[in-house]
Amino acid sequence: MERRIRVIHYLNQFFAGVGGEEKAGLPMEIRAGALGPGRKLQAELGPEGEIVATLLCGDNAFAEQPEGCLARALELIGPYKPDLLVAGPAFGAGRYGLACGQLCQHVQDHLGIPALTAMHPENPGVELYRARVYIVATGPAATAMEPALRGMARLARKLVTGVPLGSPEVEGYLPRGIRRNEFAAEPAGVRAVHLLLRKLRGDPYESEVPLPSFERVTPAPPLRDLQQAAVALVTEAGVVPRGNPDRLEARRATKWLRYSLHGLRDLTGEQFECVHGGFDGHFVNQDPDRVVPLDVLRELEAEGRIGAVHEILYVTVGAGAPLANARRFGQEIAAELRKAGVQAAILTGT
Amino acid sequence: MARELERAGIPTAYFTAIPTIPLGLGTPRIVRGAAITHLLGDPGRSPEQERALRRRLVELGLQVVQTAVSEPRLFGLEELR
């Protein structure tokens, strides 16, 4: 009888059922058997595979000390002699997606076994790891769990048995930027003209060589005269007036907001709060200067080190933000800053 | 967002505790913050020491916007002049 595929499954603290943001510092550990969504993954794998252990780690613990966590993960996984690592699904969760991608790549490189993960195409982990790691495309949130696990189980079986994989579209993983030669019925010139005609007619068409959406930006020239410059504070950490009067979303924000800093020397927890849904905001609620450093910037303004603090704070939430939204918010805020004559910005993410 | 501000000609110090993401996305000026839950602070310190840490981080940010960069670069407190 054929041996069952030995699978290690990776989860963050949330999906492992340990806790939410308050447990995001949980160090890397391993538990025998399947846990949380791993149980459903086990069912999808059927008798061919067995989740022998679940590796788990807090989102912040991993994001802040990735090298240490990766080394620890290898130590913990080794004794189980796995054939495959499956990480996630991470859906739209940035820190989790990043951890899944890093872990998969590290395990492939150091244990010589295949690995796969799953996440939403807009997860930042995709851009960073798609070239090296098989990533099954999922919906943005955990409501898309079932199809994600099904896709992961299907790809898992193929990766381990060494069956040659088909194209990303066929197999359900995100394109890795690899081009394979294949035979076409018509020469390139004919295909190109057909493609052009379809485009001109307004019919749907698909490029044979899709270009990456990723583009480099030219950095702004350095600021020349700090003592004359207006400096703006911008944050992706969701710091808003208490009660969140403009209903900024905790995740997948659809807007950015502006709040006056006029007359404020610093930000206090009585006036402001953190509504970011991607990290535990209680340290920020105690003192919002911890993520929007108005107190120090006012001090530098009073000392004449900077020309002025721009009197408007720009706020959005970065958690689960699709790149297209972030790009638009950035363009809109940049236009305002330029109009106001702002010459430099301090932008705080998380 | 930081990339768009830079593209518009506004030098931007992007503070993050997870530099892997902006480095991968090509954000030009990246500053390593203290931690995800307290990017420019440290609740473990006295209020004076915490404020001093924040001041150093903001000074680093201001140094960074005055620094020419040609590709994504991560700055840490050890580079504060």
Q: Whole-angstrom Cα distance, residue A132 to residue A157?
A: 19
- Please report whether residue A51 resides in a domain: yes
Is pLDDT above 60 for A230?
Answer: yes
Nearest to A238 by CA among A287, A289, A282, A277: A277
The alpha carbon of residue B64 is apart from the nearest alpha carbon of chain A, in Å, by 8
Record: contact A283-B11, CB cut-off 8 A: no
**A-to-B residue pairs, Cβ atoms closer than 8 angstroms:** 200
Closest C-alpha among A63, A7, A62 to residue A35 = A7
* The pairing of beta strand A257-260 with beta strand A308-315: antiparallel
Residues A33-53: pLDDT tens digits? 999 999 999 999 999 899 999
In a domain, residue A14? The reply is yes
How high is the pLDDT of residue A204? 87
Q: How far is CA B18 from CA A99, A131, A186, B5, B43, in A?
A: 11, 20, 48, 20, 19
The answer, yes or no, to whether residue A210 has pLDDT greater than 80, is no
Say if A166 falls within a structural domain: yes
> Within A78-177, where are the H helices?
94-111, 124-129, 145-161, 168-171
What are the CA-CA distances from residue A108 to residues A74, A114, A137, A156, A180 (Å)?
A: 11, 6, 20, 14, 22
Among chain B residues, CA nearest to A333: B5
**pLDDT tens readout for residues A8-24:** 999 999 999 999 999 99
pLDDT in tens, A147-167: 999 999 999 998 888 788 888
The pLDDT of A273-281, averaged and rounded, is: 92
From CA B73, how far away is CA B12, in angstroms rounded? 12
A131 inside domain = yes
Residue of chain A whose Cα is closest to the Cα of B44: A283
- Lowest mean pLDDT of A319-323, A344-348, B21-25, B58-62, name the range: A319-323
- Chain A closest-CA separation from residue B56 CA (Å): 9
Q: Are A156 and A250 members of one domain?
A: no
pLDDT value at residue B24: 80
Determine the Cα–Cα distance for residues B57 and A235; give it in Å rounded to an integer.
15
Both A115 and A260 in one domain: the answer is no
Question: Which CATH number fits the domain that encloses residue A88?
Answer: 3.40.50.2300
Report the residue of chain A nearest B35, measured CA to CA.
A64
* Interface contact flag, B15 A349, Cβ < 8 Å: yes
The answer, yes or no, to whether the previous bond of A82 is cis (omega within 30 of 0) is no
What's the confidence (pLDDT) of residue A350?
78
Domain membership of residue A300 (yes or no) is yes
Any CB–CB contact under 8 A between B74 and chain A? no
Q: Check pLDDT > 50 for residue A318.
A: yes
**Average pLDDT across chain A, whole number:** 92
Report the chain B residue with the minimal C-alpha distance to residue A266.
B51
Say what the pLDDT of residue A1 is.
Answer: 44
Q: Is B75 on the interface with A (CB under 8 A)?
A: no
Closest CA to A26 of A97, A82, A99, A80: A99
CB contact under 8 A, A345 and B65: yes
Cβ under 8 Å to A: B residues 24-53: 24-26, 28-29, 33, 35-41, 43, 51
> Measured between CB atoms, does A227 come within 8 Å of chain B?
no
Domain residues for the domain of A304 are 226-348
Domain final residue, candidates A171, A190, A206: A171
Residue A183: per-residue pLDDT: 85
Cite the beta strand spans of A191-265 per DSSP E.
Answer: 230-235, 239-241, 257-260
In this structure, the answer to whether residues A21 and A161 fall within a common structural domain is yes
- Amino acid letter for position A345: A
Contact A231 B37 (CB under 8 A): no
Q: Which residue has the higher pLDDT, A131 or A230?
A: A230
Q: Which of B71, B40, B65 is nearest to A344 (CA)?
A: B65
- A61 assigned to some structural domain: yes
- Say yes or no: A243 and A166 in one domain: no
- A161 and A240 in a single domain? The answer is no
| B34-47 confidence digits (pLDDT tens) | 999 999 999 999 99
Contact A346 B12 (CB under 8 A): yes
Who has greater pLDDT, A183 or A236?
Answer: A236
State whether A124 and B24 contact (CB < 8 Å). Answer: yes
Q: d(Cα A315, Cα A233) in Å, to the nearest integer?
A: 9
CA distance B47 to chain A (A): 10
Which helix (DSSP H) or strand (DSSP E) does residue A193 occupy? Answer: helix A188-201
Strands A308-315 and A230-235: parallel
Q: Domain check: are A159 and A268 in the same one?
A: no
Q: Which residue has the higher pLDDT, A330 or A178?
A: A330
**pLDDT number for residue A85:** 97
Sequential DSSP letters for chain B: -HHHHHHTT--EEEEES-THHHHHHT-SEEEE-S-TT-TT--TTS-HHHHHHHHHHHHHHHHHHHTS--SS-EEE-GGG--
Looking at per-residue pLDDT, the higher value among A129 and A181 belongs to: A129
CB contact, 8 Å: B60 with chain A? no
Residue B16: its chain A contacts at CB < 8 A? 348-350
Looking at residue A214, what is its pLDDT?
57
Could you tell me which chain A residue has the CA closest to the CA of B3? A217
- Name the pLDDT band for A184 (thresholds 50, 70, 90): confident
Q: Count structural domains, chain A.
A: 2
A234/B1 Cβ within 8 A: yes
State whether A350 and B16 contact (CB < 8 Å). yes
- Residue B63 pLDDT > 70: yes
Residue A221 DSSP label: P
Q: What is the mean pLDDT of residues A107-129?
A: 92
CB contact under 8 A, A293 and B9: no
User: How far B59 CA sits from the closest chain A CA (Å)?
Assistant: 9
Interface contact B12-A220, CB threshold 8 A:
yes
Could you give the ipTM of this predicted complex?
0.97
Examine the pLDDT at A136 and tell me if it is beyond 50: yes
Residue A282 included in any domain: yes
The CA distance from A244 to A115, in Å, is 42
One-letter amino acid identity for A86? Answer: V
In a domain, A198, yes or no: no
More confident residue, A209 or A111: A111
